[in-house]
């Protein structure tokens, strides 16, 4: 059988605090799929390929993340492509190229993780120690869990593919699982990853702590309040993480890998982050195709609400506001997947849901204090939850949380005026339906 060839795009994944040598930049490699993983070196190459897929411009590079913030109420579209305006209007069509690009990129990431999971355990190279083998496999399980989590919260139930494939047609004929089954796969992968991974702190690679952070987010989405609190507490009791001050300290002045970061993706001059070009104005070499809207600008510049988070926005030479989270030249800005601020706000929310209002306010006020605003004085459960929701809107203003936050809390009708429940998930890309008759479209599309 003809061997299937594919490229493993390698991304620099090192940090100021140090990452393992094997994640240094390597040349692009084209490897036969049947021989990709057969020794220590090829196993290391394969896990680099998994992270590279995660960092791709159609996944955490830009496209998938843009779904999360364009669909919210913080961003305006300044260009002419109607597909982007569809997210802002909350009326996305199945032919939308953005959802197609994200869907494909996520499944490509899953397939690379599947290759590692299937092949690394059988490698017998004495240079590949059991500890390193476990770590590599655990990282692949974590990335696969994140990928299925992203699929579930965006599209609902999806086809669950957990074995490697070597050609595009091999996955056809697999029906969609339910949303519950897809989330169950996420939990299963996280539970498998945890004991395989080291308990160290690494802000660019998955460790046991990274698993705990994603588990906290997972349990929040599942409304399993006590579990979400338990896993958030594991990170919040660890002094290697803290909400750095001021707010901009985790991204300004070319910062990367700060104590704020639980998991971020590293980019280099050779493998750049395409986020920058979309946000920066033309005078800074970007296109400013999306920008903070008037409502967000007003909130961020309100000293009582935005506080020092006003550094997220700036004005260009035409007096137009633009987002400034991604600003570096060349575009080596990290992508922030999980920050410790999220764990504080998760624990605040789930504590409020359990009627632990004083404890919830303590966590909420850590984030408000870091932003330079006064403590919340909310006195009822509903008021505390609303303060947390509003805090998340500004804390993650240019990160992909707002849409998912409002959908998961059941407040899309009140906040976004989305009254059709079918619109709370996106359509399966039309191209996928054409090539795979086993796929069924989401209702209403």
Domains and CATH numbers, the chain: 1-174 (1.25.40.390), 267-333 (no CATH)
Q: Which of 431, 427, 390 minimizes the C-alpha distance to 409? A: 390
- Which residue, among 336, 103, 338, has the nearest Cα to 217 in the 3D structure? 338
Question: 139 to each of 41, 79, 134, 146, 161, how far by Cα in Å?
Answer: 16, 38, 9, 11, 17
pLDDT means over runs of 10, the chain (445 residues): 33 32 32 67 96 97 96 92 90 97 97 97 97 98 98 98 86 94 98 98 98 99 98 98 98 98 97 95 96 98 98 97 98 98 99 98 98 98 98 98 98 98 98 95 97
**Axis-axis angle for helices 40-55, 97-119 (nearest 10):** 160
Q: How far is Cα 156 from Cα 425, in angstroms, rounded to an integer?
A: 6
pTM of the model: 0.92
* pLDDT given at position 17: 33
Q: What is the pLDDT of residue 167?
A: 77
């Amino acid at each position: 059988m003809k061997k299937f060839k594919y490229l493993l795009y390698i991304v620099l994944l090192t940090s100021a605090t140090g990452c393992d040598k094997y994640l240094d930049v390597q040349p692009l490699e084209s490897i036969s799929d049947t021989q990709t993983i057969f020794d220590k070196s090829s196993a290391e190459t394969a896990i680099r390929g998994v992270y590279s897929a995660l960092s791709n411009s159609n996944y955490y590079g830009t496209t998938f993340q843009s779904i999360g913030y364009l669909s919210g109420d913080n961003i305006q579209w300044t260009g002419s492509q109607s597909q982007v305006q569809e997210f802002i209007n909350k009326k996305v069509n199945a032919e939308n190229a953005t959802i197609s690009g994200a869907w494909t990129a996520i499944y490509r990431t899953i397939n690379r993780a599947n290759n590692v999971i299937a092949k690394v355990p059988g490698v017998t190279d004495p240079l590949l120690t059991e500890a390193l083998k476990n770590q590599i496999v655990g990282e692949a399980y974590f990335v696969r869990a994140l990928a299925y989590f992203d699929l579930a919260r965006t599209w609902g139930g999806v086809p669950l593919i957990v074995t490697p494939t070597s050609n595009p047609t091999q996955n056809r004929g697999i029906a969609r699982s339910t949303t519950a089954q897809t989330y169950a796969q996420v939990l299963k992968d996280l539970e498998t990853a945890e004991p395989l991974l080291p308990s160290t702190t690494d802000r660019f690679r998955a460790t046991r702590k990274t698993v705990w952070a994603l588990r906290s987010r997972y349990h929040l989405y599942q409304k399993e309040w006590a579990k979400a609190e338990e896993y958030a507490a594991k990170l919040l009791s660890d002094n290697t993480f803290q909400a750095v001050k001021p707010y901009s300290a985790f991204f300004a002045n070319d910062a990367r890998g700060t104590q704020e970061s639980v998991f971020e993706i590293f980019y280099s001059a050779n493998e750049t982050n395409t986020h920058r070009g979309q946000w920066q104005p033309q005078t800074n070499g970007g296109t400013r195709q999306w920008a903070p809207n008037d409502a967000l600008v007003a909130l961020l510049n309100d000293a009582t609400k935005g506080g020092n988070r006003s550094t997220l926005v700036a004005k260009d030479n035409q007096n137009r506001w633009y987002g400034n989270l991604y600003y570096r030249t060349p575009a080596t800005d990290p992508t922030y997947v999980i920050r410790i601020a999220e764990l504080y706000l998760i624990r605040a929310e789930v504590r409020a849901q359990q009627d632990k209002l004083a404890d919830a306010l303590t966590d909420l006020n850590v984030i408000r204090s870091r932003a330079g605003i006064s403590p919340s004085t909310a006195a009822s459960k509903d008021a505390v939850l609303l303060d947390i929701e509003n805090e998340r809107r500004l804390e993650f203003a240019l990160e992909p949380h707002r849409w998912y936050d409002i959908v998961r809390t059941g407040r899309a009708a009140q906040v976004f005026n989305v009254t059709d429940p079918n619109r709370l998930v996106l359509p399966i890309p039309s191209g996928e339906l054409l090539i795979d008759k086993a796929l069924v479209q989401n209702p209403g599309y």
